[in-house]
Amino acid sequence: MVHNDTRAATACFAWHERVPYASYEVGLSKISPERIPETVDAGDEIVTEAHGGPPTTANRPHHQVLLIPGFFGFGNLGELSYFNGVREQLAESFARAGVDVTVTEVKTLPTASIRVRAARVLEALVRVAETSAGPIHVIGHSTGGLDARLAIAPTAALPTTVRLRDYSRIHTLVSVCCPHFGTPIASFFGSTLGKPVLRLVARYWMWLLRRGRIPIALLLRVGYFFVRLRDPWRKRKSTFDELYEKLFRDLGDERRLELIQFLDAVSSDQALVFQLTPAGCDLLNACTADPAVHYGSVVARAHRPTFRTFLRSLRDLYAQIVHPVFAGLHFIAARGEAVPVLPTPEQSAALVRAYGEVPLPRDSDGVVPTLSQVWGDLVHAANADHLDVVGQFGRTDTAAWGGDWLPSYSAFTNEGFAALWSDVATYAIEKSRTPKQSTPMLLEGTKEGAAS
């Protein structure tokens, strides 16, 4: 295991070194619409600052928030952002509460083992703890939630020399659509067929990118031209528009290198796939000791694919291609290994308040069963798919416009997105003022196996 983790870390070293994390800082009691964010490239990190109110006062704590991406996660690829608009939404929510905050995006390795990814999270966490004061809140999307749990576990043996000296600084850990009890999709793609396909696709794109800028750039331009023929007047922007304008239009040497390094990290190590199976997560839950931290979770349930959604997907070329993929993933998540646990009475009551019922084992966000996402307090429950919750739902506002990466037609909106991340910010602020619990509120049937 040590040998494999070391090899994975070495293979992905260049990918991690480019931008380990990015920060978005707000120090104000309210945000003025006239503020102009300033982005500074500081070598190993990108810091974006926004100022629009009175300076931070000495008697007001400055909160630190770490955002951790999930499977295939990245900070930025070109102008694409994994957490599309999340940093800004969190900053505004903290500011409305009169709380100063710095939001830091952690850059992990896309498909490396949870142990290697957790080491990157711990390194970023230690950097933040040593260079700042105030409460620390950790938020992980998808696999990022598991990375965060392992990173803050005092008993974890991670491939890094850094150590967190003061665990009391960490006040909350919020997971968003995290497979705490695994996902059947990992079992499917962890098969003898799944891994080679993933490796083959990654290496094929690496080969295309390495052939030079002109051939692939020309191919992409021609392909995009034919895509635009479906909407020559550009009445609405699609996911193809976002991918082309934010990633492929300026395919210079630096951006090609960035993409090659990302794909190399994917092709070199897919250890994460097995670890997200129900069996792999069951072992993680049994062996992970939890410090005194408030644990919360954001869960999502996507609209089930129907004949009507298939007809609707015919309106958009990207949706025609990807909606059947979503339907297949949703089918696998519903028909695979069931989550062998039930929510606690408190969690069940919260789910009923949100959905009108406790979700069924077959319900999912298209990737992770909804019941597998529940861990500790229920912070927010959304009708959304796995990527909607991080801003990839077809946003139309000019500040963070983007395509719908996983067309599920779950009717997730800008208002729902704002409400979700406002609830996360409120949870972090309120829990930082209350005593911390030593053990997360787990699902029924798991307490005996969890270390307290």
Over range 336-365, report the average pLDDT: 87
pLDDT surpasses 70 at 55: no
Structure tokens at 107: 């850059």
Given 243, 268, 293, which residue is the final one in a domain?
268
| 291, containing H or E segment | none
Poorest-confidence range of 95-109, 195-209, 413-427?
Answer: 195-209
> What is the pLDDT, as a whole number, of residue 243?
59
Residue 355 covered by a domain: yes
- C-alpha distances (whole Å) from 228 to each of 64, 71, 244, 395 are 43, 30, 11, 19
Q: pLDDT tier at 92 (50, 70, 90 boundaries)? A: very high
Whole-angstrom distance, CA of residue 67 vs CA of residue 72: 15
Over range 397-419, report the average pLDDT: 85
Burial category of 233 from C-beta neighbours within 10 Å (exposed 0-12, middle 13-18, buried 19 and up): exposed
Q: What is the mean pLDDT of the chain?
A: 75
Whole-angstrom distance, CA of residue 297 vs CA of residue 169: 20
Whole-angstrom distance, CA of residue 30 vs CA of residue 96: 6
Dump pLDDT digits (tens) for 165-218: 888 899 999 999 999 999 988 887 766 566 676 667 666 666 665 665 545 555
Dump pLDDT digits (tens) for 243-260: 556 555 565 666 556 566
Whole-angstrom distance, CA of residue 255 vs CA of residue 79: 10
Domains held by the chain: number: 2
This prediction has a pTM of: 0.78
Q: Which of 113-122, 286-295, 336-345, 429-438 has the highest mean pLDDT?
A: 113-122
Q: What is the DSSP string of 332-362?
A: HHHHSSPP--B--HHHHHHHHHHHSSPPPTT
User: Among residues 363, 362, 393, which one has the least CA distance to residue 299?
Assistant: 363
pLDDT surpasses 80 at 348: yes
Residue 189 covered by a domain: no
> What is the pLDDT, as a whole number, of residue 284?
87
CATH number, domain containing residue 401: 3.40.50
Give bridge partners of residue 140 from the DSSP assignment.
68, 175
Amino acid at 13: F
Which phi and psi (to 5°) does residue 430 adopt?
-65, -40
Give bridge partners of residue 68 from the DSSP assignment.
140
Residue 358 covered by a domain: yes
Which phi and psi (to 5°) does residue 101 adopt?
-150, 150
- C-alpha distances (whole Å) from 278 to each of 330, 368, 397 are 16, 11, 38
Range of the domain at 103: 2-184+278-449
Radius of gyration of the chain measured on its C-alpha atoms: 21
Residue 89 in contact with residue 50, Cβ under 8 Å? no
Whole-angstrom distance, CA of residue 191 vs CA of residue 195: 7
Amino acid at 273: V
Residue 127: CB atoms within 10 A of its CB come to: 17
| 180 and 198 belong to one structural domain | no
Give bridge partners of residue 104 from the DSSP assignment.
23, 66
Q: Which residue has the tokens 């409460």?
A: 135
| 95 and 218 belong to one structural domain | no
> What is the pLDDT, as a whole number, of residue 64?
94
| 324 and 291 belong to one structural domain | yes
Given 204, 235, 268, which residue is the final one in a domain?
268
Residue 273 covered by a domain: no
| 138 and 85 belong to one structural domain | yes
Q: pLDDT tier at 29 (50, 70, 90 boundaries)? A: very low
Structure tokens at 146: 């598991």
